[in-house]
Amino acid sequence: MALVETADGRWFAACASLSERPPRVYLLEELPLIPPALDSSHHKQSGYLCREEARTACHIWYEAAELTQEWWELAARSELYPERTAWYLDEIAHLAGDDTPRLHYGLSVHAVVRARGKNGQEIIAATGNSPDEAIEALYQCVYEWSRVL
């Protein structure tokens, strides 16, 4: 994160990218995701009049970006429909030849199962934003695969 002061005395919240060569600075001029309840000055001039306002904008932007990533990671580990997911897992195991799906968690969930068919083993994979979505998508893929056999 960075603060930039222009020649006319305006301040801007910015982000410095050190991974690029040469390093670049990007101004953060977007409105926050959740605007202040009492602020009606959306038509103001770009930038900020003082350093403290720009620094506050910098913190708001960083917090929003950080929280969004935390929410994605939390969603990727949250199972909302355990009974339905258990049914899908049983059906996947039955259709794929009694193999248990493996899940990989990150910003999304990747589900993979080895399916035994007439032509040997195949890997079937699917992705979702949560374990429920990934397993449901994997079930759809395994079901379609089983109908082709």
pLDDT of residue 127: 96
pLDDT over 70 (residue 136): yes
pLDDT for res 45:
59
Q: Are 14 and 30 in contact (CB under 8 A)?
A: no
Bigger pLDDT: 117 vs 45 = 117
Numbered ranges of CATH 3.30.160 in the chain: 82-148
Closest-CA residue to 97 (of 112, 82, 79, 113):
113
Instruction: Give the pLDDT confidence score for residue 43 in this predicted structure.
Output: 45
Does residue 51 carry a pLDDT above 60? Answer: yes
* pTM to 2 decimal places: 0.56
pLDDT at 139 (0 to 100):
96
Kindly state the average pLDDT of the residues 28-57.
Answer: 64
* Closest alpha carbon to 101 in 109, 111, 91: 111
> Percentage of residues in the chain with pLDDT exceeding 70?
88
The fold of 82-148 is Double Stranded RNA Binding Domain (3.30.160)
With cut-offs at 50, 70 and 90, classify the pLDDT of residue 93. Answer: very high
